[in-house]
């Protein structure tokens, strides 16, 4: 089904309930990879008006604002999403076998694009969000930054041995 909606770009957002591995639990079927984006109220209301499946969670404490969220599916079945992890070492493209790294990462910043998919089941309709692109900046500690330039075994050729003096024969 064709949709008139365009993909939505979100920058500097927070993601929660990460399940890039697709691990089965009480809220998730095995193999369903997803995460939830926290939205500001204006964005949530605009997307809800367009038919996106926006959830409103009541505040836990008195005086707090409600939380507006959008669940995003991560699917590798048709067109795989672009997932890029940013560290002090540079960019690392994550694929289907490595994207689960993000389930445990300390995240500093998230920029993403979600694509809409209009669905109809038994007379009900809606719009599901699928991940198109995700750029995640990882929060590194002092030791990660200190040793960032040390190559991992097997990833870089060892420099040739160059003794500081000429050996006699």
**Cα separation of 87 and 107, whole Å?**
10
Paired strand residues for 72: 35, 129
For 3-42, how does the pLDDT look when each residue is reduced to its tens digit (9 = 90+)?
578 999 999 999 999 999 999 988 889 999 999 999 999 9
Phi, psi of 21 (to 5 degrees): -75, -30
For 49-97, how does the pLDDT look when each residue is reduced to its tens digit (9 = 90+)?
999 999 999 988 888 889 999 999 999 998 999 999 999 989 999 999 9
Q: Where are the domains of the chain?
A: 8-141
Q: Domain 8-141 belongs to what topology?
A: OB fold (Dihydrolipoamide Acetyltransferase, E2P) (2.40.50)
Q: State both tokens at 120.
A: 């109809």
């Amino acid at each position: 089904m064709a949709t008139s909606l365009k993909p939505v770009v979100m920058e500097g957002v927070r993601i929660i309930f990460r399940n890039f591995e697709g691990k089965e639990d009480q809220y998730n079927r095995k193999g369903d990879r997803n995460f939830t984006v926290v939205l500001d109220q204006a964005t949530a209301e605009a997307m809800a008006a367009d038919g996106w499946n926006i959830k409103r969670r009541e505040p836990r404490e008195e005086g707090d604002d409600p939380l507006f969220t959008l669940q995003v599916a991560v699917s590798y079945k048709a067109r795989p999403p672009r997932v890029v992890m940013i560290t002090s070492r540079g960019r690392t493209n994550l694929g289907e076998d490595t994207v689960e790294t993000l389930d445990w990462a300390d995240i500093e910043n998230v920029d993403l694009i979600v694509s809409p998919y209009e669905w109809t089941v038994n007379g009900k309709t809606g719009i599901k969000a699928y991940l198109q692109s995700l750029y995640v900046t990882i929060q590194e500690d002092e030791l990660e930054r200190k040793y960032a330039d040390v190559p991992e075994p097997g990833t870089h050729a060892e420099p040739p041995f160059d003794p500081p003096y000429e050996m006699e024969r």
